[in-house]
Amino acid sequence: MTVLIDILKDHRTSEGAGRAAALSAAWEHLTAQEILQQAIHEQFVGDITLSSSFGADSAALLHMVGQIAPDLPVLFLDTDRHFFQTLQYRDELAARLGLKNVINLKADESEAAGEDAKGTLWRTNPDACCDLRKVRPLSRFMDGYSAWISGRKRHQSTTRARLPIVEFDGRHFKVNPLATWTSDDIEAYFKNHDLPPHPLVEQGFPSIGCFTCTKPVAAGEDARSGRWAGTEKVECGIHNPIYGGDGI
């Protein structure tokens, strides 16, 4: 039985990787709006979500979704440790852009009580804290879907420099419509569509996560260098190759 499950996993993984590679090649030179249109209305109809941090760059992708598919499930990982400015920005953007299906995902209460009773896990073991508050809630919700859209870009960090347009992580397809975008592209999109900036950007936060783990950065520094500053951690874990579940 175990051998049969392994064969099915291998088959699914190679089939998914092949489909992701073919879509990446076909979509590499499409606009972000065309990629969204294809992903939402052609390839993964009713089977795709968008994960958004409602951070510094998020309004661009959210604006496109508001025009192309306002009913799309927009997932916000509510860790209970967000800046209040982020929560206000989430609510204001959702109303302004006509997003009708913003869903707040939280840690399971009994898991949080058992694993982080003191609320200090972010300091003692940030990987475990992100796993509890981001990875598992997203993984549970995504059991009902086969694909999700992310706003990651190649220019953001060395770990994202080779980001494909479409990935397959063993369970889900991930669509990255902004993979080729630069910070100038984002700035121009905000300007052309009169989008409001996240209020913390002007205070030196080019990348915004939980208040416990985000610091402002100096001009010219890597935009993500204020995230988990002073530690080896660079990603929260939701973009690891296979998150949660057994991969099938």
Enumerate the active-site residues. 236
In the bound complex, what is the minimum distance in angstroms from residue 118's beta carbon to ligand SF4?
Answer: 13
In the bound complex, what is the minimum distance in angstroms from residue 61's beta carbon to ligand SF4?
Answer: 20
Q: Is residue 81 close enough to count as binding ligand SF4 by CB under 6 A?
A: yes
Q: Is residue 225 close enough to count as binding ligand SF4 by CB under 6 A?
A: no
Map the footprint of ligand SF4 across residues 89-128, applying CB under 6 A.
122, 126
Choice from 151, 164, 206, 209 touching ligand SF4 (CB under 6 A): 209
Which is closer to ligand SF4, CB of 174 or CB of 227?
227
Amino acid symbol at 237: G
Map the footprint of ligand SF4 across residues 124-143, applying CB under 6 A.
126, 129-130, 133-134
Q: Is residue 236 close enough to count as binding ligand SF4 by CB under 6 A?
A: yes
Choice from 43, 49, 79, 157 touching ligand SF4 (CB under 6 A): 79
Choice from 32, 35, 147, 210 touching ligand SF4 (CB under 6 A): 210
Which is closer to ligand SF4, CB of 60 or CB of 213?
213
Binding residues for ligand SF4, rule: CB under 6 A, are 79, 81, 122, 126, 129-130, 133-134, 209-210, 212-213, 236
